[in-house]
Amino acid sequence: MRNSIKTTATLLAAAVLAAGASACSPPSKGGGDKNGALIVGANPVPHAEILNYVKDHLAKKEGLKLEVKEFTDYNSLNPATQDGSVDANYFQNKPFLDDYKKKRGGDIVPVVTVHLEPLGLFSHKAKKADDLKKGATVAVPNDAVNEARALQLLSDHGVIKLKKGVGTEATPKDIADNPKDLKFKELEAPQLPRSLDDVDAAVINGNYAIQAKLNPAKEALILESPDNSPYGNFLAVKKGNEDDPRVKKLAKLLTSPQVKKFIKDKYDGSVLASF
């Protein structure tokens, strides 16, 4: 009997400690309390920088509690949004999301488009695209959407010619004409700036170019046009959360004149507001 009482007391004490620990520990997932902070996952540059500008200068006046969670691996952001680890994300464009949903499913949806990061061709060995030598090696992103986007950029500027109708699914196999006999090296997008000493040129995503202290507007040999581009980056949420008042407030702030001016002043043409 004495042992039974002692065991019961021990279990009760453990339960009290566990409850106390649970009450004191911050929640690890977003999406719960609509009156709590909106947790948004984002790439560090420029997405998190733009969000932090909103957090520091605009959110309080709008009554929005905003928490910015940085992800260096953009492939983790949609899964984190899908499982509720974050309430929203800000890093991707429509072709990327469409490709993700085709391969992995889920119900992530766009809320509002904020900016475009023009893709550019960079080189430490050539001063213009025409200077690329026959047989030169060009590094491109290895994910399906950005590889197609890189090849389209080269095709738009006459460096190669793609087959008609390949659109956002182009691969090197879809090159119809390659007058310089270029070789393509597929690398993970974050590695592309570091590859410039090892290849003749690289097509680099705008955010990774900026992080590597490259200026797409001034240093790219050729640069993607923002006209009618499907590659605008948007705020996204799991379907059903579009009407969350916090999401609506953030969408309004991300497309405000203040954010437009911040993008223009900070990125000097390397990031373009899409609103």
What's residue 108's pLDDT? Answer: 98
Minimal CA–CA distance to 191: which of 151, 154, 143? 143
Amino acid at 274: S
Amino acid at 159: V
Write out the DSSP string of 196-236: GGTSSEEEE-HHHHHHTT--HHHH-SEE---TT-S--EEEE
Residues 180 and 245 in one domain: no
Residues 217 and 257 in one domain: no
Q: What gap in Å lies between CA 178 and CA 172, rounded to an integer?
A: 10
Q: Is residue 27 over pLDDT 80? A: no
Residues 128 and 192 in one domain: yes
Q: What gap in Å lies between CA 18 and CA 265, rounded to an integer?
A: 50
Average pLDDT over residues 237-265: 97
Residue 99: CATH number of its domain: 3.40.190.10
Residues 103 and 71 in one domain: yes
3-class SS of residue 267 = helix
Residue with the bigger pLDDT between 220 and 22: it is 220
Q: What gap in Å lies between CA 53 and CA 42, rounded to an integer?
A: 13
Contact 120, 221 (CB under 8 A): yes
**Residue ending a domain, choose from 190, 208, 223:** 223
The model's pLDDT over 52-93, given as tens digits with 9 standing for 90+, comes to 999 999 999 999 999 999 998 889 999 999 999 999 999 999
What's residue 128's pLDDT? Answer: 96
What's residue 15's pLDDT? Answer: 39
3-class SS of residue 186 = strand
**Residue ending a domain, choose from 223, 240, 255:** 223
Answering whether pTM is above 0.85, one says no
Q: Is residue 225 over pLDDT 50? A: yes
Pairing outcome for strands 175-177 and 272-273: unpaired
Other residues' Cβ atoms within 10 Å of the Cβ of residue 89: 29
Q: Is residue 26 over pLDDT 50? A: no
Domain membership of residue 9 (yes or no) is no
The model's pLDDT over 153-187, given as tens digits with 9 standing for 90+, comes to 999 999 999 999 998 889 999 999 999 999 999 99
Residues 196 and 210 in one domain: yes
Range with lowest mean pLDDT among 71-75, 98-102, 232-236: 71-75
Contact 150, 160 (CB under 8 A): no
Q: Is residue 218 over pLDDT 60? A: yes
What's residue 31's pLDDT? Answer: 54
- Count structural domains, the chain: 2
What's residue 16's pLDDT? Answer: 38
Average pLDDT over residues 107-131: 96
Boundaries of domain holding 106: 38-117+230-273
